[in-house]
């Protein structure tokens, strides 16, 4: 057999091992791992580089409706472009069901938006905001069978939040179908109470976004979500965990034997609430929920990644432009309450985790691969097709230059935003080549593929639910 591509001379890293070997690729898949592969139509020199499974960013938002007059800065072309340049080969955005709408219809719209536009592969989580009898009884079971095997629910936001009974009803469907529930855990009433107090006393600057949703807001909801999942008897992913107390709820549940999975994100490792305290509306650039906290929270999130309380590391890429078209709403509503919640980061995720984590000795190279690729693939039903370097897997590969130094600017990321919250960070380690199913899509900071190479991936059940279904 003549191989299409051989990646030669690199150091392959998986979630389990680091080894010197070449990678042979045929028809978009890895077909050979060997010491010295010579017969191939194309040879990629990986000497001195790490050969990693392409990143899987299991938590991104693209082209999602965000309220009147607010448009996300990324469509599927720009969002997947930034992913590719940042070494990520699969993303999992959310399809948001607005109240009163059929989930099937909503999914069709997202498929239409993504079709032919993507540089990397894509699959969809669903956001359930309206758990009608029709959705719970008919539509969701059919959609899970069709490969939409995860859904996110919210405990806060006027238009999205479910009450405890609704959460239990959704969890029961997950239990019965093998789907995996992800939860945004913040206490709605507590946030409203605090927001009204802030506004009544004129505290409306962006920094009060963080004050209006302090750690107990998240800790309480995290514990409640875990309890509801225990009662409904289903595994649960707590997404975007920001601090020690929420992490301790997850660890407590895991020690108790509950199948609770934790995710943390870039912003909780490197930003703090002080970043929201800039001149004028500058702080709006850092408004996301939960908000970045303090140094001890950062430390706790690193601990969570190192010890396995968190097995998922995502960007929560949620892109809004910092101008009158988006991050600041056009009607001149300048209270923090109106600033859309979310910050961009799909392209910066791997470099920041590598530089701050692996280079600084906080996590191992294998943990880096596990939390950015292998675990997301297993958790969301893409493994072993995605998330590892093994014979039979898709040839989704990122070549990593561990020595390359860069002072990060928004220009390096090429998303649709007009800023990065990580501007000026000194980074060591950078992806120098990204390959999706055997085709190079980005090389040395430039896009080389054409949009449309990325395909939609229907998914299997999660490794966490499969045994139960």
User: With contact defined as beta carbons under 8 Å apart, do 295 and 272 qualify?
Assistant: yes
Query: 420 touches which of Zn ion, ligand DUC, none (CB within 5 to 8 A by kind)?
Result: Zn ion
Q: Report the residue number, 61 or 81, with the smaller CB distance to ligand DUC.
A: 61
CB of 412 to Zn ion, least distance (A): 9
Q: Report the residue number, 61 or 385, with the smaller CB distance to ligand DUC.
A: 61
∠ at Cα 88 (3, 1), nearest 5°? 5
d(CA 192, CA 148): 33
User: With contact defined as beta carbons under 8 Å apart, do 406 and 427 qualify?
Assistant: yes
Structure tokens at 234: 């289903």
Smallest Cα–Cα separation from 166: which of 225, 125, 218, 107? 225
Query: 417 touches which of ligand DUC, Zn ion, none (CB within 5 to 8 A by kind)?
Result: Zn ion
* Residues between 330 and 349 that touch ligand DUC (CB under 6 A): 341-342
User: With contact defined as beta carbons under 8 Å apart, do 347 and 57 qualify?
Assistant: no
- Tokens 């950078």 -> residue: 430
d(CA 293, CA 291): 6
Please list, in sequence order, all residues whose beta carbon lies within 8 angstroms of the beta carbon of residue 186, skipping any fewer than 6 positions away: 155, 156, 213, 217, 218, 221, 289, 290
Residues that bind Zn ion (CB under 5 A): 184, 316, 344, 410, 415, 417, 420
CB of 52 to ligand DUC, least distance (A): 25
CB of 61 to ligand DUC, least distance (A): 6
Q: Report the residue number, 316 or 415, with the smaller CB distance to ligand DUC.
A: 316
Main-chain phi, psi angles of 250, to 5 degrees: -70, -45
Query: 341 touches which of ligand DUC, Zn ion, none (CB within 5 to 8 A by kind)?
Result: ligand DUC
| Helices (runs of H) and strands (runs of E) counted in the chain | 15, 20
| Residues binding ligand DUC: number (CB under 6 A) | 9
* Residues between 11 and 70 that touch ligand DUC (CB under 6 A): 61
Q: Report the residue number, 184 or 321, with the smaller CB distance to ligand DUC.
A: 184
Strand partners, 94: 125
Asked if residue 272 binds ligand DUC (CB under 6 A), the reply is no
Binding mask 223-242 for ligand DUC (x = CB under 6 A): -----------------x--
List the one residue from 22, 218, 316, 396 that touches ligand DUC (CB under 6 A): 316
CB of 263 to ligand DUC, least distance (A): 10
Strands (E), 46-195: 50-53, 55-60, 88-96, 121-122, 125-127, 150-154, 180-184
Asked if residue 289 binds ligand DUC (CB under 6 A), the reply is yes
Burial of residue 308 (number of CB atoms within 10 Å: 0-12, 13-18, 19+)? middle
Q: Report the residue number, 240 or 443, with the smaller CB distance to ligand DUC.
A: 240
Q: Report the residue number, 46 or 162, with the smaller CB distance to ligand DUC.
A: 162
CB of 183 to ligand DUC, least distance (A): 10
Asked if residue 184 binds ligand DUC (CB under 6 A), the reply is yes
Contacts with ligand DUC, residue ranges (CB under 6 A): 61, 184, 240, 288-289, 316, 318, 341-342
């Amino acid at each position: 057999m003549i191989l299409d591509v051989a990646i030669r001379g690199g150091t392959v890293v998986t979630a389990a091992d680091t080894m010197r070997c070449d990678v042979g690729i045929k028809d978009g898949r890895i077909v050979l791992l060997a010491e010295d592969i010579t017969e191939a139509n194309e040879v990629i020199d990986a000497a001195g580089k790490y050969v990693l499974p392409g990143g899987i960013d299991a938590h991104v938002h693209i082209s999602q409706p965000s309220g009147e007059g607010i448009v996300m800065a990324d469509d599927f072309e720009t969002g997947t472009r930034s992913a590719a340049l940042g070494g990520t080969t699969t993303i999992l955005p959310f399809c948001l069901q607005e109240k009163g709408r059929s989930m099937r219809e909503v999914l069709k719209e997202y498929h239409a938006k993504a079709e032919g536009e993507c540089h990397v592969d894509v699959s969809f989580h669903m956001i359930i905001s309206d758990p009608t009898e029709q959705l719970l009884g008919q539509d969701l079971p059919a959609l899970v069978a069709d490969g939409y095997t995860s859904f996110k629910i919210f405990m806060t936001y006027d238009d999205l939040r479910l009450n405890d009974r609704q959460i239990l009803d959704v969890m029961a469907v997950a239990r019965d179908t093998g789907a995996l529930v992800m939860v945004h855990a913040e206490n709605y009433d507590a946030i409203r109470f605090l927001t009204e107090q802030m506004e009544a006393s004129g505290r409306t600057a962006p920094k009060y976004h963080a004050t209006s949703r302090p750690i107990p807001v998240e800790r309480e909801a995290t514990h409640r979500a875990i309890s509801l999942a225990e009662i409904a008897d289903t595994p649960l992913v707590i997404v975007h965990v920001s601090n020690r107390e929420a992490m301790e709820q997850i660890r407590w549940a895991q020690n108790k034997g509950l199948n609770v999975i934790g995710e943390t994100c870039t912003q909780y490792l490197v930003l703090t609430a002080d970043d929201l305290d800039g001149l004028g509306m500058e702080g709006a650039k850092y408004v996301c929920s939960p908000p970045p906290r303090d140094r001890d929270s950062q430390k706790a999130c690193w601990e969570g990644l190192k010890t396995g309380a968190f097995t998922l590391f995502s960007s929560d890429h949620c892109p809004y432009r910092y101008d009158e078209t988006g991050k600041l709403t056009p009607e001149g509503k300048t209270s923090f309450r109106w600033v859309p919640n979310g910050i961009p980061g799909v392209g910066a995720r791997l470099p920041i985790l590598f530089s701050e984590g692996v280079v600084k000795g906080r996590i191992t190279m294998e943990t880096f691969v596990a939390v950015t690729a292998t675990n997301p693939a297993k958790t969301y039903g893409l493994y072993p097709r995605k998330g590892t370097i093994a014979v039979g897997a898709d040839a989704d590969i990122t070549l990593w230059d561990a020595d390359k130094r860069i002072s990060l600017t928004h220009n390096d990321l090429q998303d649709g935003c007009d800023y990065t919250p990580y501007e000026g960070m000194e980074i060591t380690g950078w992806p120098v080549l990204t390959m999706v199913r055997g085709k190079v899509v980005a090389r040395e900071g430039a896009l080389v593929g054409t949009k449309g190479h990325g395909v939609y991936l229907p998914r299997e059940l999660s490794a966490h639910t499969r045994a139960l279904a």
